[in-house]
Structure 1
Amino acid sequence: MRPSCATIDLDALRANYLLAKRLAGGRALAVVKADAYGHGAIACAKALEPLADGFAVAFLEEAVTLRTAGITRPIVLLEGVFDPAELETAAELDLWPVVHHETQLRMLELAPRRPRRIWVKINTGMNRVGFAPHEAPAVWRRLQAVPNLDPPVWMTHFACADDPTSSMTLEQIRRFHGGIATLPGETSLANSAALLAWPQARGDWARPGILLYGGNPLVVGADPDMANALRPVMTLTSKIFATRWLAPGETLGYGATFVAERPTRVGLVAIGYADGYPRHAPTGTPVAVGGRRTRLIGRVSMDMLTVDLSPLPEDLGQGAIVELWGEHIPVDEVARAAGTISYELLCHVKRVHRIHRGTEFTP
C-alpha cells in the first residue's frame, strides 16, 4: 500500500473545541463543512457530539450525511436552502437554515412546512450576502407573521477578524448591534479569529471552524500562548521510497529549479500535489524526516516530492517517515511558505489513507 496517510487525532479535536467554548463563554457550533475541513465530517461530528452544542455545515447535503450517520444535535445550514423542497427537508430533519436574502425569506413565508428555527444573516461589511442592518426590523416583522417559528438567531460574518490591528471588526460589531438592538432572538458573531482576538464579538453562539482543527487564523498579533494551546488534529505523512546523491551543479525535478551547491542527499517521498500537498510550495518549505526538521527541495510533482537529507543522519533514508505537517511542522507554516492558508491545505487533502484515532472513538 502507498504509504501516504492523514492521521486524525480526535482527542486533539475535542480539546480544541473545549478551548473554543471557553473563549466563547456561551454555546459554540462546531463547523464541520467541507468534510470537516478535510478531516472527515462523520468521524469528527461523532467525536464532538457528546460535547458540542451543535454543528454548522455549508448546505443541505452535508447535513443529510450527518443525520444519516446518527448525529442528533442541532445543525445550521450556513448557505441556507436553495429551493422549497430543501426547506421541507430541513424541516423534516430539524435543521436550522440561515436566511440571507429576500428569495429565502419569501420561500420561508410561503412554505407549508418549515423548520422551527432559523438564523438570519446581517451584512455588516462583508458584502457577500445578508440583509442590511436597517432592514432587520422589517425582517423581524415578517417573521412574526410566520406560524410556529421561534425567534431567530441574528448573525454576521467578519471580513478582517484575522487582523487584530484592523478597525473594521469593531465597526462591523457596532453596525450589527445597531441593527438588531431592539429585536428578540439570540446572536452569533464570532468565528475562530474573533474568538482569539475580539472579545467584543462574543454572543450567544460562536462558530469555531479552523480553530477546531488546530489552525491559527490570525495573520498578525497572535498570542503565542494561545497558539501553543491549539493542538494539530491532522498529521499528514508519507515515507521516503528512494534516495540519491546530487553532485554540485546538478539540477533536480521539473524546471530544473533546484541546483545543488554542494553534494546533496535527496529523499524521494510518495506524496504530491494530486494528494493535496501544495504544488507551489518552494524550496525551503519545512518538512520533518524521522521527527527532525529539514526542507523541501525542487518542485512538487503530481505523485512525489523531494526533500534534503544532507543535514540528517545516514540512517534517515529509505523507509523513513516524512511529516508534511502535524506535530513537528505546523500546517500554518507550510501554508505561509506556499502563499496560501491552512484552510485550503487541509480541505484539499485527498487520495491518501485517512486514520481516525482517539481514546473515545469508535468507528
Structure 2
Amino acid sequence: MKPRHAPAFPAGRPECTADGKRAGNGGGIHGRTLPGCKPWQDAIKRLHQRRSRKTGKRPLPSLTGTKTECPALAYIAREKKPRRPTSPAISHTVRPAVKTLCRIRIHLDNLLHNLDFLRASGKPLMPVIKADAYGHGLLAVAAALSSQGVDHFAVGAAAEGVELRRAGIRGTVVALLGLSPLDAGNPTAPPTLPTFDEDARAALTHDITPLIHDWSALDRMAELTRDHAVKSVPIALKCDTGMARLGFLPEDMPLVLDRLARAPQLRPDLLVSHLAAADEPEQDAFTHEQTRAFREAARCLRRTFPDIRLSLGNSACLLAFPEQAGDLARPGFALYGGNPFHGTRRDVLGLGLAPVMEAFAPILEVHPLRAGQSLGYGRAFVAPRDMLAAVAGIGYADGFRRMPGAQMSVNGMRAPVIGRVAMQMTCLDVTGIPSVRPGDMAHVLGGKARPIRIEEVAAWWGTIPYEVTCLLGRIGR
C-alpha cells in the first residue's frame, strides 16, 4: 500500500551512478559530478539545492569553515544559485562490487521526508545508520542527514564511525556494538578482526563515543585512558532493561558509579537501553516495564552525573510513546520507510512514511509456457494453463531468497514468482501484463502503480523487513 501523503518512487528519472555518469532515461542535473566529489556526494548537493527552495532556509552554517568536511557538503554550503522546488527524483544508484544485473536505487528525498515525519514528534533524534545504514549506504545516508542538521549518529562497529569521520561527517557518533573483546595475539581470531586496543584507539583518535556494556570493557577502557594520560573521554553506558543481550542491569548502577569514581577521566554522556517489543501492541505492558526499569537506572546515575542524557526509544516507541523515548530517540527502521506497526492496530501511525530503497533487475527473456509444461530446476512448477513467462536477472546470489509466494512488479502490475529461484535468475508469470519485453524492469522493491513494500517481501520470505533491506543492500557493496 502506498503511504498516505508520502512521495512516491520517481519514474523515468536519471540518477547518479558510481562512475559519475548519467543513468536512466532522463537528462538534467545528474549528468555530471562535482570536482572532488563522489557520485553520492553529488546527489546530496542536488538534494540540498532542491529542498532549500521549499523550506526557504539557507545552507546550514555548520557545514562551512572546516577542513574536514566532505567536498559535497562544503559545496552545498557555498552554493548561491537559486533553488528549484523539491522533487522526489533525487536519488543515487549503487553499482555492485560484483558483476550482477541488479541495481539498488536509494531515494534520498524520501529519506529526508521520513526525517521530517519523525521530527514532528518533537524529540531530538540520533538516527541509527549501522550495518551500512540498513543496506542503504552509510556515507550517502549520513551526508543527507547531516545536510539537514542531524548531529548525532548511531553506528554499529567503531570502524563505521571511523568511516564517517574520514568522509567529513561531524557531530556525535556512538558505536552501539561497543569495543571489540579480542586481545592481540588471540590464536582463534582472524588477524582482520580488530582488537580492544585498536577499537579504543580508533574511538579516541576519531572522537567516537564507545558503548560500554560490561565490566571488562569498563575496566579496560579506564586502564587504557589512564596509561595514556587522557583527561576526558566521553562514553555511553548500556543498561539491560529486558532485552537480555548487552548491558549492565539496573541494580548494577551503584557499582558502575563506584568504578567510574576510580576513573574520573571517563565521562558518561549517554545512558542507552533497547526496547524488546515496542512494535507489538499486545506487549505494551512489557514495554512499560522496561521504561520503568530504565528510569530507575537513570535516577541512580543522575545523582552523580546530572547531565547524562537518556536514549531509549526506537522507531516504534517514537511513533507510539514519544514521551518515553528519552532525550535522544534512535529511529532506524522508520527512517528508511518501514512501518514498525505494519499489520497491527497501530498501523496508521506509520502510514506517512515513504520507502527509501528501490530494487530492480531487467527482464532477460519473455516466452510462452504451454499447459502441462514444466519450468526451472526440479520441474517444481508445471503450468496449469497456457501462460506467458518472463525471466528476471536476479536470484539468491543477489539476496533474493528462495521462498514461495513472492511477487515482483512489472510495468505497474504484480507478477508472481513461479518455479525455484536460481542463483541469478527468477521466473515470473506475466500473463495478462501488456507489452512485457526483454529490457523491462522487474521490481523487487518499489515499482509503478502498486509498488512492492519491504513489509510484503518480509512476509513472503518469512522474515522481518530489516533483513530484506540488509540483504538486498549487499547488491551495492
Task: Normalising by structure 1, report the TM-score.
Answer: 0.90
Aligned pairs for 1:38-49 (under 5 A) are 38-49=135-146
1:323 partnered with 2:436: no
Of the three residues 244, 248, 251, the one matched with 2:374 is 251
In the alignment, structure 1 residue 289 sits paired with structure 2 residue 410: yes
SS at match of 1:29: coil
How far has the Cα of 1:73 moved from its partner?
A: 1.8
Letter in 2 for 1:300: V
- 1:17-57 CA distances to partner (integer Å, 9 max, x unpaired)? 2222333x322112111111111101111111123131111
CA shift digits 1:231-276 (9 cap, x unpaired): 1111001111101221112222223222211111001001111111
**d(CA) in 2 for partners of 1:22 and 1:157?**
22
Cα deviation code 1:44-75 (max 9, x no counterpart): 11111123131111111111111111111211
1:52 aligned partner? 150
Contact 1:137–1:180 (8 Å) recurs in 2: no
One-letter code aligned to 1:33: K
Matched residue of 2:154: which SS?
A: strand
Say which of 372, 389, 396 aligns to 1:273: 396
Total equivalences in the alignment: 350
SS at match of 1:176: helix
Partner Cα separation in structure 2 for residue 105 and residue 258 of structure 1: 57
- SS of the counterpart of 1:288? strand
- Give the partner amino acid of 1:240: I
Alpha carbons of structure 1 residues 352 and 176: separation in structure 2 relative to 1, 3 Å: closer
Q: Which region of structure 1 is more displaced relative to structure 2, 212-221 or 320-329?
A: 212-221
Letter of the 1:132 partner, please give it: L
Describe the superposition over 1:56-100 as per-residue Cα deviations: whole angstroms up to 9, x where unpaired.
111111111111111112110101112134223212211111110
**What is the one-letter code of the residue matched to 1:4?**
C
Secondary structure of the structure 2 residue equivalent to 1:134: helix
Q: How does 1:192-207 map to 2 (within 5 A)?
A: 192-207=315-330
Bigger drift between 327-336 and 189-198 goes to 189-198
Alignment partner, residue 172 of structure 1: 290
TM-score normalised to structure 2 length: 0.69
Q: Distance in 1 between matches of 2:351 and 2:272?
A: 29
Gap change, CA 1:329 and 1:7, over 3 Å in 2: same
User: 1:150 and 2:267 equivalent?
Assistant: yes
Equivalent pair of 1:241/1:267 in contact (CA under 8 Å): yes
> Matches of 2:398 and 2:427 in 1, distance apart?
15
For 1:226 and 1:257, how far apart are their aligned partners in 2? 41
Distance of aligned partners of 1:334 and 1:58 in 2 relative to their CA distance in 1, 3 Å threshold: same
Matched letter for residue 437 of structure 2:
G
More relative contact order in 1 or in 2 (CA 8 Å, sep 6+)? 1
Distance 1:27 1:351, change over 3 A: closer
SS of the aligned residue for 2:277 comes to coil
Aligned partners of 2:277 and 2:431: how far apart in 1? 42
SS in 1 for 2:282: coil
Contact between 1:163 and 1:220, CA under 8 Å: does it hold in 2? no
Q: 1:351 Cα deviation (Å)? A: 6.5
Give the conservation status (yes or no) of the 8 Å contact 1:243–1:318.
yes
Correspondent of 2:244 among 112, 115, 127: 127
Q: In structure 2, the residue corresponding to 1:28 is in which secondary structure?
A: coil
Bigger shift: 96-105 or 285-294?
285-294
Q: Which runs of 5+ in 2 are unaligned?
A: 1-98, 181-195, 303-307
Aligned to 1:117: 234
RMSD: 2.0
Contact 1:164–1:220 (Cα < 8 Å) also in 2: no
What is the match of residue 361 of structure 2? 238
- Structure 1 distance, partners of 2:232, 2:124, is 20
Runs of 5+ consecutive residues of structure 1 not aligned to the other structure = 355-363
After superposing the two structures, state which structure 1 stretch, 336-345 or 178-187, moved more.
178-187
User: Which residue pairs with 2:383 in the alignment?
Assistant: 260
Q: Secondary structure at the match of 1:119?
A: strand
